[in-house]
Amino acid sequence: MKNRLIAAAALTAASALALAGCAAGPGGDDAPIKLGSVNTISGPATFPEASEAAAAVFDRVNADGGINGRMIEYKAMDDKADPATATASAREVVGSDEVVALVGGASLLDCEINASYYEQENVRSIQGIGVDPGCFDSPNIAPANIGPFNDTTLTMLYGSEELGLEKLCVFTSVIGSTGPAYQAAIDRWSETTGKEPLYIDDTVPYGGADYTTYVVRAKEAGCDGIVSNAVEPDAIGQIKAANQQGWDDVTFLFLTAVYSDSFAAAVDNSGAGVYVPAEFFPFTTESEINADWRGLMEENNITLTSFSQGGYLAATFMVEVLESIDGDITRDSVNEALANMKPIDNDMIAYPYQFDKIAAQDYEPGGWPVVLKSGTGAWEEAADNWVTVPAG
């Protein structure tokens, strides 16, 4: 009899442990909701603010009680702009950690390297900042931003249609497989306007020491506007090369990558001005539209940039999706919620965010033009509304 009592007690204890394990496991009511991202936090061009901003959103949600009492556990990996590290990082968060979704990432090569793996593992990603072409060519990835290729079309549209520039010359720094995507962006501008650039130079180096040769060629060709996908240091180099040539009537049409306070402070003379179609509502403008983002960033000492805007928005969208789920929060239920989500309207972007439509590029991307006038050291709004790429 004693042995039977011991056996029964052992069975009861084992059952209790098993039940406790189920409750605390990946799908349990008390288990954390695991989210992750792959980012270029160190390397030649870095985007740390995106994942930092996403983490700040999730920390605030946790401080307010989480998602129906469940805490969010967020893990941001650094791919160091290295393909092997990017591959390993994705497998750690998706395979080993079994995240229910990826959120707030910003990487030079994550999408291109890992998009097929994400499809294979049936995991969705709301990138904070989509950078490489793979971010805009996968049913499993829908960035919060419009990306550098849509941005290229927009900056050319603003230059030709709003500023009246007639001789656009294009400087393209090609990294990896970005060449065809940038060419497609230029072609989209041509199809929309019926115009052609004066010339395209896709040999402009990334991280070049001196851009004088390229600037002299553009000046001699008679360009009135230079369209460039340069990142901040290279853009500064291109403007300085123009200054050295005494070229003070050329307009620079850059991408959102240069829209920062540090860039504005570094550029003394920008010729006829620098124009950028900001992918999010201009962060240099004091407005209620950016108030929650700005307050959260300042509270967490995160730099105010378009990158942190993207990370904030990606996390904000994901929180709304998680809160809409009835029942257990798993990778499958998150995928279903993303597929069936209602469009989210947010004044920080020009379009409603709806995962499947963004992933399919079935929307009209838009940007808010800002200008850095020569000698001002500060960005100003160059328009009073969004400029969008017309639907094809």
Number of domains composing the chain = 2
pLDDT of residue 5: 33
pLDDT of residue 261: 92
Residue whose C-alpha is closest to residue 189's, from 230, 155, 228: 155
Residues 62 and 141 in one domain: yes
For 289-315, b/e burial (b = at least 16 CB within 10 A) is bbeebbebbeeeebebbbbbbbbbbbb
Determine, yes or no, domain membership for 75: yes
Q: Does 243 lie in the same domain as 95? A: no
Whole-number Å distance between alpha carbons of 280 and 51 = 17
Q: Is the domain of 371 the same as that of 240?
A: yes
Q: Is residue 353 part of a domain?
A: yes
CATH number at residue 203: 3.40.50.2300
Kindly state whether residue 102 falls inside one of the protein's structural domains: yes
Residues 6+ apart with CB under 8 A from 179: 172, 202
Q: 172 and 80 in one domain?
A: no
Residue 11's pLDDT is what? 35
Q: Do residue 247 and residue 312 come from a single domain?
A: no
DSSP-derived secondary structure letter, 134? G
pLDDT at 207: 87
Digitized pLDDT (tens) for each residue of the chain, 392 residues in all: 333 333 333 333 333 333 333 333 344 568 999 999 999 999 877 889 999 999 999 999 999 999 999 999 999 999 999 999 999 999 999 999 999 999 999 999 999 999 999 999 999 999 999 999 999 999 999 999 999 999 999 999 999 999 999 999 999 999 888 999 999 999 999 999 999 999 999 999 988 889 999 999 999 999 999 999 999 999 999 999 999 999 999 999 999 999 999 999 999 888 889 999 999 999 999 999 999 999 999 999 999 999 999 999 999 999 999 999 999 999 999 999 999 999 999 999 999 999 999 999 999 999 999 999 988 889 999 999 999 998 76
Kindly list the distances between the CA atom of residue 254 and the CA atoms of 118, 149, 153, 197, 292, in Å, as whole numbers in the listed order.
Answer: 32, 12, 11, 15, 27
Q: What was the pLDDT predicted at 209?
A: 87
Return the SS3 of 18: helix
Task: Give Cβ neighbours of residue 173 (< 8 Å, ≥ 6 apart).
Answer: 204, 205, 206, 229, 230, 231, 234
25 falls within a domain:
no
Amino acid 61: pLDDT:
98
| Nearest alpha-carbon partner for 46 in 109, 136, 138 | 109
Q: What is residue 29's DSSP assignment?
A: T
Which of 379, 363, 371 lies closest to 146 in space, CA to CA?
363
250 lies in the same domain as 371: yes
Written as one letter, the residue type at 62 is: N
Same domain, 322 and 341: yes
Question: In this structure, is residue 345 part of a structural domain?
Answer: yes
Question: Do 153 and 63 belong to one domain?
Answer: no
Same domain flag for 192 and 84: no
Residues 270-323 have pLDDT tens digits of 888 999 999 999 999 999 999 999 999 999 999 999 999 999 999 999 999 999
On whether residue 323 sits in a domain, the answer given is yes
Contact indicator for 296, 61 with CB cutoff of 8 Å: no
Residues 340 and 273 in one domain: no
Q: 260 is in which domain, residue-wise?
A: 148-278+367-388
Instruction: Output the DSSP codes for 329-390.
Output: --HHHHHHHHHHPPPBP-TTSSS-B-HHHHHTT-S--EEEEEEE-TTT-SEEES-SS-EEPP
Tell me: do 331 and 220 sit in the same domain.
Answer: no
Query: Residue 73: which H helix or E strand, with range?
Result: strand 72-78
Identify whether 3 is part of a domain.
no
Residues 158 and 307 occupy one common structural domain? no
Quick check: is 225 in a domain? yes
For the record, the structure tokens of 58 come out as 């999730």
